[in-house]
Amino acid sequence: MGALNRLKTGLKQIGRKIVPTQLVKERYIYRRLGAKAGPIYLRLRTMDAAGIRSENERRVPASAKSVVFVCFGNIMRSAMAEHWMIRAMREERRHDIEVSSAGMHATSGNSAHPWAQLAAEGAGLSLVNHRAQLLTQEMVDETDALLAMDFQNKAELLAQYPDAADRVFMLSAYADPPLRGREIPDPYFGDEERTRACCAEIEVCVRRLLATLQKPE
């Protein structure tokens, strides 16, 4: 029996070496997302690989008066986006847009990740007082636009809130090519340098988003 178990273990290890790492990663994500969000994620990923990105380049209507930035845990990307939006509005002397952020899997009350705090501080922002919050049905119902950071976020939004599909967008719709309509990767799996780069990318997108929203008369 021990020999059989060792054989199975050996075959698994060989299989891991043969199957590309990215394929293993995508399979894990697909399974984690489940029966509803998994197929949506696969479609988004396949379309992206084929260069078909018009759906992810949709922009928020100019008439929007509220936005919610969404990522996984609301401790890095969406937190930085919220605070960039608040800063951009302050610089433009605008008070007409309601801004918030949330995570699909956030632990409410968590502080921003240390890397995010450092990146924000370096850009003149402060995430010291930021506290994560879980996205709720009420938040979805009351906002004009839900801005996802990556395909996992978007797939889960579409799966969990199908009635809000027309209000789900990718923040990267406001990025320069080749990032436009693609993912803003989670720096949680990177390092401080990657987090700083992510913070800069998000600033560009958020400022362009604000510029497209109608100012009050």
| 3-class state of residue 60 by DSSP | coil
pTM: 0.90
- Following DSSP, what letter does each residue of 178-216 receive, concatenated? TTTTS----GGGS-HHHHHHHHHHHHHHHHHHHHHSPPP
Residues 147-204: tens digit of each pLDDT: 999 999 999 999 999 999 999 999 999 999 999 999 999 999 999 999 999 999 999 9
- Up-side HSE of residue 156: CA atoms within 13 Å toward CB? 20
Tokens of 156: 């889960």
- What's domain 55-212's architecture? 3-Layer(aba) Sandwich (3.40)
Residues 6-37: tens digit of each pLDDT: 545 544 554 455 457 788 889 999 999 999 99
Where are the chain's structural domains? 55-212
Please say whether the beta carbons of 97 and 213 come within 8 A. Answer: yes
